Amino acid sequence: MIMYMYWSLPIFMFMVGVIIFISNCKHLLSMLLILEFIVLTLFLLLFTYLNYLNFEGFFSMMFLTFSVCEGALGLSILVSMIRTHGNDYFQSFSVLQC
C-alpha cells in the first residue's frame, strides 16, 4: 500500500502541473513557476524509481543541476523580456518582433 502511494503521488502532482500549465496563464513568471513544479515532481519520481532499483543517486544530482540551469535561463529570459517590453504578459510579446 505504501509503495502505491510512492508512485501515485508524484504522478498525480505531475498531471496537476501539466493541467495548470496548459490552462490559460498570462504571465511568464507563473509559467516558469509551474515548470519548476513539474521539474521537481519529475525529480521526486526519478528519485523514487532509482531508490526502488537500488541505483546510485548521481543521475538525480545531474538532473537537479540541469534543472537549476533551466531555472536560471528562464529567469534571465524573464528579466530581458521585462526590460525590453515593460511587462511579462504573453499577449504583448511576439516572436515576429525579433
Where in the chain are the domains? 2-97
Q: What is the model's pLDDT at position 6?
A: 72
The whole model's pTM is what?
0.81
Nearest alpha carbon to residue 56 among 65, 47, 64:
47
Query: How is residue 44 written as a grid cell?
Result: 521526486
pLDDT tens for each residue of the chain, 98 residues long: 666 777 788 889 999 999 998 987 788 888 889 999 999 999 988 888 888 888 887 888 899 999 999 999 989 988 888 888 777 776 666 654 54
Beta bridge partners of 27: 89
Q: At what angle do helices 28-52 and 2-22 cross, to 10 degrees?
A: 160
> In the CATH hierarchy, which fold is given to the domain comprising 2-97?
Helix Hairpins (1.10.287)
Helices (DSSP H) in the chain: which residue ranges? 2-22, 28-52, 58-85
Q: What is the model's pLDDT at position 3?
A: 67
